[in-house]
Structure formats: structure tokens, C-alpha cells
Structure 1
Amino acid sequence: MTTAMHPQASGPAQRSYGNWTKPKTAGLLGLSALGTAILFVGAGFSVIVTMASNILNGVITAVIFGIFLLTVAAKNKHGQSLLQRATTRVGWMFTKARGAHIYRSGPLGRAEWGTAQLPGLAAGSRLTEWRDSYNRPFALVQVPSTSDYTVVIGTEPDGAALVDREQIDVWVAEWGAWLASLGDEPGIEAVSVTIETAPDSGTRLRREVTSRIDPTAPAFARELLHSLVDKYPAGSATIKAFVAITFNAAARTGGRKRTADEMGRELASRLPGITQSLSATGAGATRPIDAQELCEVIRIAYDPAAARLIDEANAAGEPPELYWPEVGPTAHQAGWDTYRHDSALSVTWMMSSAPRGNVPSSVLSRLLAPHRDVARKRVTLLYRPIDAAKAAALVEADVRAASFNLNSSNKPTARNMTAARAAAATAAEEASGAGLVNFGMLVTATVTDASQEADAKAAIDNLSATARIRLRVVHGSQDSAFAAALPLGLVLPKHLQVPAELREQL
């Protein structure tokens, strides 16, 4: 998905947002550029076979190319072709045959050194801690396989309750400006925003209340406070927000890759400016996450049962000493559409289609809010900023492709006409200074009892409808999608065996 984010807010008081488009290539008969090429190659090869042998062989050749073209052209409501679904199923069969969907760690596991290291895409990651120019500690996650470094920023969003509409519009405009500025930041590869809702253990509330109770207060008042502490956490939830910013070791394409020490020193000087600009977007108080806190977040994600123990240890002033090789699950088993890990079961969805038309700024409010049928819910927005040099060429290519698809038929469809208008509007906004950003979304629902899986799936389906977003369950790679939804800064296109550009054509 690609959207143009303009750094300034203008228009009526009740504003709506939209004009996001999915890049398409020019093609005939509704086909992509690859499908059109297969069509011409098949037609030409069939003619050559007919001339070289006989018409029967030519017809057979044409039928073979036609069947292959049908697997590329036939797509479901999520935009997946028959060929994509078939290759995903075959890949899953090979994964099960190798036993790669099962993971065991610890002293009796398969992981080296008897540790509980992270599985899958994050298996080779490393964690170090540095201090920025404000002397704040921050964790730096390194993924050597992709030469990426990620810093995680913890935020305290202000929320839209009892906030004027004008202030909300300013926050949205500042968020658009912040995303647009990422394209000018050297070395930034991707940004992810994770909103996590989880049950409140009540430990922090108990610590806050008990520390403020006056021993000379009336007995009734003390009993009332203790009663509130015991009953309030039931059914309540905590909301946490993280922003993970991923930098590439090479500041520019083809440049020298910097070491972890060089990246740590450089990010130490850049991080204060990034957090300060992020505060103006409604993120509230922003601060970098240190190594200990990041270890706790990842450990709880894989083993939700450890949340209460970690909260109680922190409340007692004795935070647990967690190390990066010990924050992974002791066991997991990835299924076709589920992911079993330690004390919980999770299902992850991916966004297949952004909302059609214009939407208000509160379109995601219900999807982000806690839900009684989902124990832990994680909504992650994935952004990949595009630098100004590539953005201009990309929007012009979209305009040419939309114009070709519109004019290739005597009776253009309404969808083609809408796509042409959207491409022209995006090009005009980019020319006036707007930034271009590729974006996606992952939604993870975690339950502690497998019998609650159906309720959690139904809840996410209903919430996605209210957000006007089309979600589909990630098939065959639930463990990878779960890791990508965590604030680790994993860039999924870099981990694909088939390039993302070719996958989009299929």
C-alpha cells in the first residue's frame, strides 16, 4: 500500500483521510505486466509450434499457457492469485516435512548452548545497550542477516477522549509530517508502530494506593481503598505503544556498512531529535526503551503467563534480570493458521486492502481498543518511507499505468476510473512536497485457552469491519508474522525468498 502524507493540515473542521493506492502495472484485460507478457509469449510460441509441426500441437501449447495464465489472473477477494495460494501450500508442506514448524529450546531443546533464544526471523538478532546525548539508555537490536539496526521508543499516547477536533487534526497533520520527514532521514529502512492491549494485573495500582494510604485514616476509608484495589483490575486492561525505527548499516545504497559500535554512537546523537519530533504527533511522553524493558516486552509476548511475575518483581523493586538469549519461547508449534507458543495460542492477520474511500481519524479506535474476547491484542502498523528521488518516479509510473488501464478498454470500469483519479491526485500531492510511504498492518490476537480461539477470530473479524479494513489470516507463516508484529523492527520484504516486486506481479 502507498499513501501520500502531506505535512500541512487544511480543509474543513470535520476532515477525512484517504487516497491510498496500491501500485499497479500496466496490462491488458485486467492483467499485470507479467500476465500480459505471459499472454504475448504464449500466443507467439503457440504460433511458432503450429508452423513448425501441426495445429494440434499448437492448440495444446496454447492451452498449457492459458492454464498457467489462469493461475496468475484468477484472484480471490484478498488479491491473491491461484498460483500464490498454491505455492504457499506447497511451501507449507515442505516446512512440515522438515519439521521447521516445531521449535524446542532450553537445556533439552535444539537451540545451541541450551538457551531460549528467539526463533525464526529473529533467531540471529543481537541486543546491546547504549546511552544517547541526553544520557538515556536505549536498546539497539541488530539483525546481521539484513544489516539492520532497530531502536524502540516507548510512548504514552494522549488519546482522543475529551480532546478538541482541532487538536486531533493537528496531531494527524504532525504525524503525516513526521512520516514524510522519514524519507529525508539518512539510513532509515522502516518504521513500525505497535499498540498492545493486555489484562491489567493490578500490581501497579496496588503499589500506588498502598504507598499513599495514611495509617491514621478512618478504617472505612482504608477498607474502601483495599476493596477498590482488589476489584478494579478485574476486566481492566493496560495499553502500551511502541515505535520501532529500523536503520540500515549502509547510510546509502552501495555505501560502506557500519559496525554496531559506529551505529550506536551515531544513533546516540540522533535519537533525541527523533523522540522530540515524535512527541508533537500526539504520542505523549516519548523515551527510548532500554535493554531490560525490551527483554520484558518480548518475554511476555511469547509467554503471557510471565506477565504477572514480572510485574510483581518490578513492584517489589527487584526487576528480573533477563538476557536476550533467554527471552524466546521454550517451545512453539506453528500451524497453518495458528501459532502455539508456551502458555498461549495466537493468530495473526495481515491487511490485504486499505479502506476504500475517505475515513475519519477515529477509524481505528475500536480495533485498537481492548476486547473482552481477546486476552492480548497487538496491532502493528508497518511503514517503509520512500526517498524523494524514488517517490517522483514511482508516482509517475502509477499515473502512466492507471492511464493505460483506463484507455485500454472502450468501456472502462469504475474501479479503473477511480484508480486513475487517485494516481493523479497522489502525483500532484507529491509534486507539492508530500511524502510517499508504503504501509501495511498486522493484527495478532492471543488467548490463553485454545477453546477461546473461535471467539477471538470472530472478534477480530468484527473489529476489522468497523475499521473498514480487509484482513486475512496469514497462512503457512504464523510464527514469522507473530515476530514481525513485535517491536523488533523486522523488515519482512528482506526475508522473502521471492522478491516482493515479483510476488506483487503474481
Structure 2
Amino acid sequence: MAEASVSRTYGNWRKPVTAGLGRLGTIGTGAVLVLGIVAILAWTAAGVGAGLVVVVIGAVIVLGLVLRDRHELTAAQRLGERVGYQRATAANSRLYRSGPLGKAGWGTYQLPGLLASTRLIEGKDSWDRPFAVVAWPSLGHYAVVISCEPDGAGQVDQEQIDNWVGGWGQWLRNLGHEDGVIGAAVTVETAPDTGYRLGAEVRHNLSADAPDVARQMLAEVIDSYPQGAAQVKAWITITFSSQVRTGSRASEEDMVLELSTRLPTLTSGLASTGAGHARPATAQEVCETVRIAYDPASAFVIDEARAMGQRAKLRWSDIGPASHEAFWDKYRHDGAWSVTWAMTVAPRGEVYENVLQPLLAPHRAIVRKRVTILYKVMDPGIAARIVESDRRNSDFRLNSSKVPAARLEAERSITEKTAREEARGAGLVDFAMLVTATVTDKDRFPEAVAVVERLGSQARMQLRPQFGSQDSAFTVALPLGIVPEQHLVVPSSIRGAL
């Protein structure tokens, strides 16, 4: 008798924490101790009143670091969002105008924000395939974009799906051994099909001797198919740092040459992950992707030109929005409205491999939906130190509590399991998720917001709009290889220790 197959589940992810008292991190705990000493000194030197003032100030600071909402954000973090937004409003930096009447150089449609200083380079890899490189000269970052055609899980055996998941984990693990890799991302975008590609394919293959009935039937298919069809595109971006071991940066030419030798291995390794045909995206394709993201209406023009055998020749300096305005909870750009959410709590407990399927699927209420998962791949040596530090911090929190909470005991169990898996050779990655929904009709904006939040709940995760930074979040969600922590005013290491 054949054994019944057991469905695999996934989980065991958690936010790393630093050692501290209660819900405070290392820096927060140190601040409390310093305030306690200052309060005692003030009490001794200036009397009870001065001591009480210091205690009250310290209590306010501690409450700002301890009180958290359902998204695990402290009151201090939420206050920082509001202050940053008010400063941007006062500096008038929420508004952007480009083109002949704008302030961009030479009257161009320059990309705004985090992409303002970028350059687009095109080279050829060892297999003579053209590939695009998005470069940040000031940071020494170079990102390559890989275009994928996922096979999909329909009519696929569960064993094959499990192999794909395992292959993806192995591919991410191997990135940790790639010298210079500082980040990776997967972007899946869904949008209505314009229908031009189908029409061009039918006209190209239509026989000159086809009967009139067949011609009429195909014409009806071309007219009706786009009404319910959707496009699904996927990209994988890998970001490299030009900082070499000697401490100096490699030149732009050297980086393009090095990436040209690495791309064949990176793309061929995706064959076992279910990514389908993976190839480097060309500079023209990257320009089209960014232009359509800022101006969804341009997708019809670009697809129509492609269907006629032409290409809309775009330049990196002319694909930005003519105007944009970043609001507290939404982003307006070239006649479209977008909102971007960040995942604040990953799917709880154990989940199956299709947990994100509702979120990734097309939806009629959203013109364009983009889901981006950001990965920070750890070097094996660094990963070992991180899991051991996380285990010690979990032990400290558990042992420092007289009556340990069930949450602390669960964290201890997870950290122990993670340490054992890493010791057996498993990789370690930090990950985050951004979801962007775009509509062209402002009246449909509330419906799109409600749909995404409902889909997030179905995926057993918590999503929170990126309040006060919608323009930056929109940019990070594009398949361009932006590493967010490299652009933060307050480093992520300090944020995590508060």
C-alpha cells in the first residue's frame, strides 16, 4: 500500500531582537539605566523636585520605546514618521516637476527621489546576451535585473512544487557565497492585458487562404480576450557592491565585466526554482517597466508599438514622471494614484507554499499590482554569529523574567531550532515585503485599498501603509535593486537596538 504524502509547511521566521529589559533593546535599556543614574544625582544635588522631573522625562521616553501597536511599531517610531512628513511638507519636497517646465536638468524627465542619481548601463554577458545594470555611483551599488516567466503551480505535482521551493532556498543560500552581493528582490506584477500582443500574433500566423468564418471568429477573440485577461510579469534583481576587499571601489567598467561573467551562472541556477525561462533584462525593457509604473497609460502605446514590429526607444533620463505629489497615505504620479504597504508581521505559524497566492493573483479592482519581496542574504560566517547572538539574547530575556511568558518560551524554541539548522548548513536571510496598488481612477482608490488589505489578511500577514514615505516606498518596490537600509538616516542596527 502506497504511503500517503505529507504536505510540507513553512515558517520559523522571527524578528531578531537584542538583549534588554522587557521589550526594550540594548540602547533602550542603556538609556533607562542612564536616566536612573541622572535622576539619583539630580535628587541628591537639587532636591526632590529635580529628581521627579528627570523621572517623568525618563518615563515618557520609556513609554515611547515600549508601547507598541499591532504592527509592532513604537510610539517613537510613529512620531518620527509624522515629524519627517511635516519636514518634507515644510521643505516642499513632496512635490516634483520635471520636463521643459520642471527643475530637472536640460528639461528632461529625470527620475525622482532615490533614483535621481542613478545611471543605466548595458553590457553583454558571457553568453552574448545584453543585460542592464542600474548603478548608484555615490554608493557603489550595481543591480542586475533578471526577467522570468514562472511556470505556475497549475496542474503540477506536489512533489515538483516541493522541489521548486527547495531549489529556491538553495539559490538564495548560494547568493550568500557570492562575493559582493548585498541584496536581492523578487517582484511580481499583475496588470490587464492590452491585447496588442495577441492581435499581432494572430495576424502574423493567419493564413492568406483562411475562410471568412475563421477570420471573423479570430477577430472576435482579439476584441473580447483583453476584457478578462491579465498580464503577469516577474523579475529577480540582485544588487552588488563595488567595495572590494582592499577597501577601495572597483571601477564601473570592471563591475560590468565582472557581472557579465557571473550572470550565466545566476540565471542557470534559477532553472530548478520554477522561475521558468530566466534571462537578463535589457536596458530598453527596464526603461519600459519603470515608465509604465509611473504612467500606466503608456503601456498601451508601448504594446501597440511592439505589436507593429517597432520599439518605443526610451532613455533613462526621460522615463520619470512629469509630476508627482506624495501624500501622507497615497502617492499621485502622472494621472495615476498608488499606495504602498509594508509587511509588518509575517504569516503567523506554519503555512503552505501557496500562502501568497491570493495576494499575487490579478484583481479587477486594481489596474496594476506589484508585490516585491526584499532579501538580505547573509554571509555564512556572519549568519553563524547572528543566530548565536539571537539565541543568547533570547536566553537573556527568558531568564530575566520571573514568570516567563509563553511568547518568550516560543522565541527560545525558535532560536534554538534556527541555530541547529544553520549549523547543518542552512542559509540565513532577512526578508521584507512591499505591496503597491495603482489605479487610474481616483474614485476607485478606496476599493483598491480595501482589496489589498483583505488579501493581506487572507495571506495571514499584517500590512501597513508606508505613512509619510509613499514616494520612496513606491520606488523601492520597483524591480531596480534598491537596498532600503543603505538609504536610511538612522541605521537599521540602531533601530533594532532601541
Where does residue 389 of structure 1 map in the other structure?
381
Tell me the alpha carbon deviations over residues 54-112 of structure 1, each in whole angstroms, 9 at most, x when there is no partner. Answer: 12221221111111111111111111111111121111111011110100000110111
Tell me the alpha carbon deviations over residues 292-347 of structure 1, each in whole angstroms, 9 at most, x when there is no partner. Answer: 11111111110011000000111111101100000110100011110000021100
Match for 1:432 among 424, 445, 450? 424
Counterpart-to-counterpart distance in 1, 2:438 and 2:139: 28
Alpha-carbon contact 2:145-2:280 (below 8 Å) kept: yes
Tell me the alpha carbon deviations over residues 191-243 of structure 1, each in whole angstroms, 9 at most, x when there is no partner. Answer: 01000001100000011112222232332222111101100110211000000
Where does residue 4 of structure 1 map in the other structure?
none
Residue 344 (str. 1) matches residue 333 (str. 2)? no
SS at match of 2:428: strand
Which letter does structure 1 place at the counterpart of 2:366?
V
Which letter does structure 2 place at the counterpart of 1:493?
E
Alpha-carbon contact 1:194-1:379 (below 8 Å) kept: yes
Which letter does structure 2 place at the counterpart of 1:96?
T
Counterpart-to-counterpart distance in 2, 1:415 and 1:444: 32
Residue 19 (str. 1) matches residue 12 (str. 2)? yes
Which letter does structure 1 place at the counterpart of 2:204?
S
Where does residue 158 of structure 1 map in the other structure?
151
Which letter does structure 1 place at the counterpart of 2:211?
P
Match for 1:68 among 61, 84, 90? 61
How do residues 305-316 of structure 1 correspond to structure 2 at under 5 angstroms? Answer: 305-316=297-308
Counterpart-to-counterpart distance in 2, 1:130 and 1:372: 38
Counterpart-to-counterpart distance in 1, 2:23 and 2:399: 12
Tell me the alpha carbon deviations over residues 135-163 of structure 1, each in whole angstroms, 9 at most, x when there is no partner. Answer: 00001110122210011000000010000
SS at match of 1:325: helix
Where does residue 84 of structure 2 map in the other structure?
91
Which letter does structure 1 place at the counterpart of 2:228?
G
How do residues 29-428 of structure 1 correspond to structure 2 at under 5 angstroms? Answer: 29-252=22-245, 255-428=247-420
Alpha-carbon contact 1:106-1:330 (below 8 Å) kept: yes
| Structure 2 unaligned spans of 5+ | none
Which letter does structure 1 place at the counterpart of 2:287?
C
Alpha-carbon contact 1:197-1:370 (below 8 Å) kept: yes
Counterpart-to-counterpart distance in 2, 1:30 and 1:79: 11
Counterpart-to-counterpart distance in 2, 1:314 and 1:131: 23
Counterpart-to-counterpart distance in 1, 2:240 and 2:211: 57
Deviation, structure 1 residue 13: 3.2
| Structure 1 unaligned spans of 5+ | 1-10
Deviation, structure 1 residue 12: 6.1
Q: Give the TM-score normalised by the residue count of structure 1.
A: 0.96
Q: Give the TM-score normalised by the residue count of structure 2.
A: 0.98
SS at match of 1:283: coil
Deviation, structure 1 residue 279: 1.8
Alpha-carbon contact 1:13-1:166 (below 8 Å) kept: no
Deviation, structure 1 residue 466: 1.1
- What is the alpha-carbon root mean square deviation over aligned residues? 1.2
Where does residue 449 of structure 2 map in the other structure?
457
Tell me the alpha carbon deviations over residues 399-444 of structure 1, each in whole angstroms, 9 at most, x when there is no partner. Answer: 0111111111122111111111101100110111011101000000
Which letter does structure 2 place at the counterpart of 1:296?
E
Which letter does structure 2 place at the counterpart of 1:432?
R
Alpha-carbon contact 2:199-2:307 (below 8 Å) kept: no
Structure 1 pair 113–137 and aligned structure 2 pair: CA distance change class (3 A): same
Alpha-carbon contact 1:356-1:468 (below 8 Å) kept: yes
Deviation, structure 1 residue 250: 1.3
Which letter does structure 1 place at the counterpart of 2:112?
P
Deviation, structure 1 residue 43: 1.5
Alpha-carbon contact 2:18-2:496 (below 8 Å) kept: no
Where does residue 468 of structure 2 map in the other structure?
476
Residue 495 (str. 1) matches residue 495 (str. 2)? no
Tell me the alpha carbon deviations over residues 342-398 of structure 1, each in whole angstroms, 9 at most, x when there is no partner. Answer: 021100000111111110000001100001111100000000101011111110111
Counterpart-to-counterpart distance in 1, 2:131 and 2:120: 10
Alpha-carbon contact 1:364-1:467 (below 8 Å) kept: yes
Deviation, structure 1 residue 41: 1.4
| Percentage of matched positions with identical amino acids | 49
